[in-house]
Structure 1
Amino acid sequence: MAVQLLLVLAICVVAQAQVPHFGNGLVKGYIATPIIDEASGLAASRIHEGILYTHNDHGDGPTIYAINASDASLVATLTIGSGATNHDWEDVAVGPCAKGEHVFCIYIADTGFSSANDDEANIIYRVQEPDSLTDQTLTVNSTLKFEWSEEESQALMVDPEANVYIVSNVLSGRGMFVKLPNVWGQAVPTHVASTTFLPIRTTHHDPTAADISPDGKRLLIKAKRHIYYWNVPDGDYLAAVTKTPYELPYIHESVGESICWDYTSESYFTLGEGHYKPLYEYEPLSLDESFVVG
């Protein structure tokens, strides 16, 4: 009995030690261009160190903006061609273009409420990351079309195996967490559903953003007023999100719909909607403190 108790305590200590302790957000810089005024997604480049991709919500063209993570300055404007349309882009992610590949793609979720009644609603666009960061037009690599029971998703994730996940945006935050099937290029939308729902509870329509770390071991899901964290050492994200998350520091943004890990999987960034908003970075302080959501 004593041995069993010691084993349980040891497991708890190890689990807690894996939870990073982050400091408060540091302002890296302010978005200096009026073009980026409704930042609705954020993702770290895998081939350009220190570059983040963002985009505007509905109303803008099919455009991704590359910004410098050190000062929030605009580096390049990437137009998505091949007939892509921004009906209501809600999130962006970066990951392998396909399982086992070391070629990386930008994934864009046209999954917002404003596109709900459109024939082209609920599309994930995939475009290969450009070798150089200059103003240019990128060709769509492929599209993944789906339909489901939910009104919208504002949270897109891609894991190291090129699997794509979305979470529905609902009142109370208990969104449906879905792993999308690998049916890229099909003209007819595939129906998707899930029995996995987030355990978080809020008073808003949540979540508003999400990201899987480049190493695949950490998951962030952002609500309007909270940031939630899960350890995922085995890559089973559907099982992980059924457990109680940890809450991480967050400087409240009046309309904050963007979050991402940096390319090293260590710190995370947030960016709010509006003109000339600050880019925040939250850096890890230690690995010996845990703070479980009450």
Structure 2
Amino acid sequence: MQSWIVQIIVIFVNHRSTLGEAPAFSNGVSVGSLSPEIFHASGLAASQKHDGILYTHNDGDDVNRRSPIIYAISATSGSLIARLRVFPATNEDWEDIAVGPCGNTTCIYVLDKSANTIYRVQEPDFVYSDQILSLDSKVEFIWHHHKSNTLMVDNKGFAYIIAIVKGGGDRIGRVNPGDWGHTGVNIEVRGHLNVHDDSDQDDPQSGDISADGQQILILMRSRVYFWNVRNGDVLTTLADHNPAGHPPLRDHGSDGICWDRTGQNYFTVNEIQNAPLYVYRRHST
């Protein structure tokens, strides 16, 4: 009887195993502050086409200043590089942003939480001037499980959203490549985030998958969680395995997180005016 119990415990522990170890990172260092024009930086993503460029946006909390604009900023100073207006699009409540593949190029993806819509535009070939980016596609979805502040796109073009809930261990939904261009897409629950945070905040706030699809960061109010992706399966990794570690988080009010273009270092930003842009550099091994 005791042997049978031990076997059950071992199976359960292995099911919730940890995949590898988390790399070590330095504490966050501010590289500069964002332009006052970016007053509610709710998401962050690294360009896969332009080295040293990050994308961010304002959320839609201020109804008098809502605009469908993506801001290109410098990863080394936080300074504003260009305003990229998405057309046609609206900003009811943009909450997160990601960069990932779309066809033979790379696209910027933006989640509008209130409209249950994800917009997609191709990354521009030249990013150092204000311009209008024509909408490449969008998906209007039905999501019965609360709202989501988190949008991630993997290296195969699958988009993921995670419902917000106190403690952060809630439902994960996936948008498939074939869903683009459709309305009324029913997003099914594909798993539950294997995190039970002690925070009383509605989490997670943001997340990102590295460009090679091998690493995941999930941002809570109180900490960051890291996973190594197993067999290219983001859903199984997040739902069935413990985080491999807790990288540093300089500002516990952070709202956006992203890997850099190479997946070596990561950035965070807060949803305040003149927000500092923090970089966390990976320790060499």
TM-score (norm. length: structure 1): 0.85
Which residue of the partner structure matches residue 90 of structure 1?
Answer: 95
Of the three residues 91, 97, 108, the one matched with 1:106 is: 108
Deviation per residue, 1:29-71 (Å, 9 max, x gap): 111x211010000000011100000000103200000000000
SS in 2 for 1:138: strand
Matched, 1:124 2:130: no
What is the letter of the counterpart of residue 191 of structure 1? N
What is the letter of the counterpart of residue 94 of structure 2? W
Which residue of the partner structure matches residue 279 of structure 2?
Answer: 281
Instruction: State the shift of 1:275 in Å.
Output: 1.2
For the 8 Å contact 1:20–1:286, the answer to whether it is kept is no
Q: How many positions carry a matched residue from both structures?
A: 258
* Structure 2 runs not aligned, ≥5 long: 1-17
Which residue of the partner structure matches residue 36 of structure 1?
Answer: 38
Of the three residues 24, 27, 38, the one matched with 1:24 is: 27
Which residue of the partner structure matches residue 201 of structure 1?
Answer: 196
Matched, 1:73 2:92: no
Of the three residues 227, 232, 237, the one matched with 2:229 is: 232
Which residue of the partner structure matches residue 246 of structure 2?
Answer: 247
C-alpha distance in 2 between matches for 1:24 and 1:218: 19
C-alpha distance in 2 between matches for 1:183 and 1:15: 31
Deviation per residue, 1:178-234 (Å, 9 max, x gap): 111331111x31111215111212321000000000011000110111100000142
Q: Aligned-residue CA RMSD in angstroms? A: 1.5
C-alpha distance in 2 between matches for 1:180 and 1:30: 33
4+ residue runs of structure 1 moved beyond 3 angstroms? none
What is the letter of the counterpart of residue 172 of structure 2? F
C-alpha distance in 2 between matches for 1:23 and 1:34: 27
Go from structure 1 to structure 2 and tell me whether the alpha carbon gap of 1:195 and 1:78 turns closer, same or farther (over 3 Å shift): closer
Go from structure 1 to structure 2 and tell me whether the alpha carbon gap of 1:199 and 1:284 turns closer, same or farther (over 3 Å shift): same
C-alpha distance in 2 between matches for 1:200 and 1:207: 10
Which residue of the partner structure matches residue 7 of structure 1?
Answer: none
What is the letter of the counterpart of residue 110 of structure 1? D
Same amino acid, percent of matched pairs: 43
Instruction: State the shift of 1:15 in Å.
Output: 5.6
